[in-house]
C-alpha cells in the first residue's frame, strides 16, 4: 500500500522460530494480504523487531535505514514503512516476492 515517503508493508511476525526466514504471503481473517516472517529472537526488549528488520533487509535487498516499523511494535501484526519512491519500492518488492515463490 502506498504511503507518504514510500510503501507500507503488512507483516505477520512469528518469534522463537527455528530460523530467520520469510515464509511467504498470507491472507488475514480480515482479508488483508501480509508477508509472513519468522525470526529466532524472542519478543523481549525489541529483539524480535530488530531480527525482523534484519531479515527484511536481506529479503528485500534494502538497507535497514529504509525500513521502519510504524505500527505494531508489541504485536505480531506489524506495518513496515519501506522508504523510497513508491513505484520503485513496489517494483523491488514484487521482484523479491517473485524470486521467493
- The 10s digit of each residue's pLDDT in 15-47 is 999 999 999 888 878 888 899 999 999 999 999
> Which SS3 state, helix, strand or coil, does residue 36 take?
strand
Mean confidence (pLDDT) of the chain: 92
Query: How many whole angstroms separate alpha carbon 57 and alpha carbon 66?
Result: 9
CATH class of 2-100: alpha beta
The reported pLDDT for the residue numbered 68 is 97
The reported pLDDT for the residue numbered 100 is 65
**pTM confidence score:** 0.90
Contact 55, 39 (CB under 8 A): yes
Q: If you search the block for the grid coordinates 522460530, which residue do you land on?
A: 17
Q: Which cell is 89 given?
A: 519500492
Amino acid at each position: 500500500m502506498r504511503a507518504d515517503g514510500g510503501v507500507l508493508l503488512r507483516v505477520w511476525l512469528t518469534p522463537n522460530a527455528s530460523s530467520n526466514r520469510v515464509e511467504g504471503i498470507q491472507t488475514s481473517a480480515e482479508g488483508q494480504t501480509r508477508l509472513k516472517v519468522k525470526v529466532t529472537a524472542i519478543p523481549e526488549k525489541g529483539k524480535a523487531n530488530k531480527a525482523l528488520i534484519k531479515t527484511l533487509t536481506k529479503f528485500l535487498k534494502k538497507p535497514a535505514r529504509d525500513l521502519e516499523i510504524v505500527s505494531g511494535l508489541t504485536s505480531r501484526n506489524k506495518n513496515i514503512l519501506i522508504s523510497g519512491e513508491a513505484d520503485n519500492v513496489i517494483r523491488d518488492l514484487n521482484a523479491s516476492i517473485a524470486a521467493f515463490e
